[in-house]
Chain A
Amino acid sequence: MFKTPEGKEIFVIDGHTHFWDGSPENQSNIHGKQFIDCFYAYHTNLSPTEELWEKSKFEKYSEEDIYRDLFIDGPNDMAIIQSTYLKDFYKNGFSSIERSTKMAARHPERFIVNGSFDPRDGEKALEYIHYMKEEFDIKGVKMYTAEWNGDSKGWALNDPSAYKCFELCDKLGIRNIHVHKGPTIIPLSKDAFDVHDVDYAATDFQNLNWIIEHCGLPRLDDFCWIATQETNVYGGLAVALPFIHSRPRYFAEVIAELLWWVGEDKILFGSDYAIWTPQWLVEKLWAFQIPEDISSERGGVQLTEEIKEKILGLNAAKLYNIDVEAKKKQLAGAPVQIAAE
């Protein structure tokens, strides 16, 4: 729960978090080291100084750390944990559904754990989707189209093998497809950040919600255009939001573009924990106003309190069928546990 300076209580769902193990013990090769190093560079580059972590904690943090950072020191009511395997880089995967589910089991009322699959695995991918549904009853998945797999350095959402998987997701009621379209690693011969496959997949799978993490940065312009056309395409703010601290005017321009093109009902808050912690992000977002000159160039769009509430939790609640009032009551009965158990 985030409490505004005026004392108003705001319901927060953090749409993009991880429980990863990037420690040297889990790294398979230099790529694994470079991957977590790159995340750490994002962390050190865009965090306020007082929010910086030691490298070793960043590589691998505990179940107690994530609970404290998100819910005790942090403003979250709920968090969506994404799975990212990176099997070629990490022995036990970077953040697996099994490890995240085990962590989340201590506070199941607060976590939604999403799965992940790789369509290039063919039949095995389909079997794996069944397994995740039966074993973990997943409501969503995280797609990492730039993930390496043997000789392949990436795939597209509209590949035929991917369509088979999305058909199955649709059938099993796995409705929320989070797609990493952001700073990424390479399909080599293409524009590495291309977002046009989203357009095809969203048109062909109208029952599914396509949440484009990082708003397609660094292809924000293309993403805005696609999201305007497709009613089932959403933008996740992870990575865009931390600019609110280091470059507030850039952030204002980005959020103004998103409000103008994509609209207030289709933007989702995400801290990208543990790259960033949510408390300072939410505080700054709540206090933020789009400067007059930037707003007036886009028909006067502004971050009103009503819009901020939608971004911080209500939009995600709709996607995941969460009854906010009932959830608030449930959480009030199970307050965050500050003392050691």
Chain B
Amino acid sequence: MFLANLMIERELEVWDRLSAVSDPELDEPITDMNFVERVEISDTDAVLVEFRLPTYWCSPNFAFLMAFGIRTEVLALPWVREVTVQLNDHCFGDEVNAGVNSGRSFREIFAENCDGAVLDEVVEKFAAKAFDRRQEVVLLAARSLVGSAANVVSMKLGVLRKMHFSGEEELRQLPRYLDLLEERELAVNDDDLAFPTWEGKVIPAEELEAHLKRLRSTRINMEFNGAMCRGLASTRYHEVEIGPEGPTLIDFMAGRVPPRTAPQAGH
């Protein structure tokens, strides 16, 4: 019983790390997108993670990034001795799987598969889009609390950190926004501006509307893609069936297990 509990605990730890891997294009955790199909932990503390994207054609460069992201996150757990990442049913599956499990760096593997190209520019472009999307949610919420454009564009990070939001999306995006500010050193200290542009500039109050218009179009685009991917993923995952030994943890996480009906009286 103790061992079974430990295994469940460890599997949950793996899931927790996996939720830190995002689809770069959608800025959504791969676990929320139901991309992860299987997590298996062996007796020797080796972890196998299988994932599948919404289509066979999904961009291989993002597939590479996600595969390496999975590897890095799972290896960060102290008890993990070995990680195998497996991308299923993808036009570049063999290359991705060979690359990510070779122990070599992302840069090296990617360059080898793409005539020496690096992905920095694409990664940077999508980081900027992710920033826009997170900022829009937080900025709109903050503006509704402080009233004027001038107040919100001059708001300090310390004030934002102490703000209380109520909406579900605002609560979800605030920590993600703060993380990105810090990671990119756009705002680190309490007296730094809470809402700089991606280039680290101040948004002039009179340009706030134009700025928000741009953020909105980034968001619509990303949401649209997200809706498309979720739909395609759910269609594709229809084929996945619950095995003979009954549902496993992943079936519950992926919402594949129907809710239990209450036992009827008299039974």
Contact = CB atoms under 8 A, between A and B. Distances in A.
Given A37-B56, A38-B57, A246-B227, 16 more contacts: A34-B57, A34-B89, A38-B232, A41-B55, A42-B232, A45-B231, A46-B231, A183-B57, A190-B61, A192-B59, A218-B221, A220-B217, A246-B231, A250-B220, A253-B223, A254-B224
A38 B55 contact: yes
A34 to B, nearest CB: 4
A186 B57 contact: yes
Interface of B: 25, 54-57, 59-61, 89, 91-92, 110, 113-115, 117, 119, 122, 125, 216-218, 220-221, 223-225, 227-228, 231-232, 234-236
B220 A221 contact: yes
The 9 closest A-B pairs by CB, nearest first: A189-B117, A189-B114, A34-B56, A45-B231, A218-B225, A192-B59, A185-B57, A221-B217, A221-B221
Contact of B119 (A44, A184, A189, A253): A189
Contact of B224 (A35, A224, A250): A250
B32 to A, nearest CB: 17
Contact of B220 (A45, A191, A253): A253
B141 to A, nearest CB: 16
B95 to A, nearest CB: 10
Given A184-B57, A189-B115, A191-B122, A218 B232 contact: no
A204 interface: no
A183 B58 CA distance: 9
Interface in A144-200: 183-186, 188-193
Residue of A35, A184, A188, A224 with most chain B CB atoms under a 10 A cut-off: A188
Contact of A45 (B25, B57, B234): B234
A297 interface: yes
Listed residue (A31, A41, A193) with the most chain B CB atoms within 10 angstroms of its CB:
A41
Contact of A218 (B25, B55, B60, B114): B25
A38 B54 CA distance: 9
Nearest to A34: B56
Given A31-B91, A219-B221, A186 B231 contact: no
Nearest to A216: B221
A61 interface: no
Interface centre among A37, A189, A254 (most CB of B within 10 A): A189
Contacts of A31: 91
A35 B224 CA distance: 22
Contacts of A246: 227, 231
Contact of A243 (B55, B115, B227): B227
Contact of B91 (A42, A185, A218, A221): A185
A41 B117 contact: no
Interface string A203-230: 0000000000000011111001000000
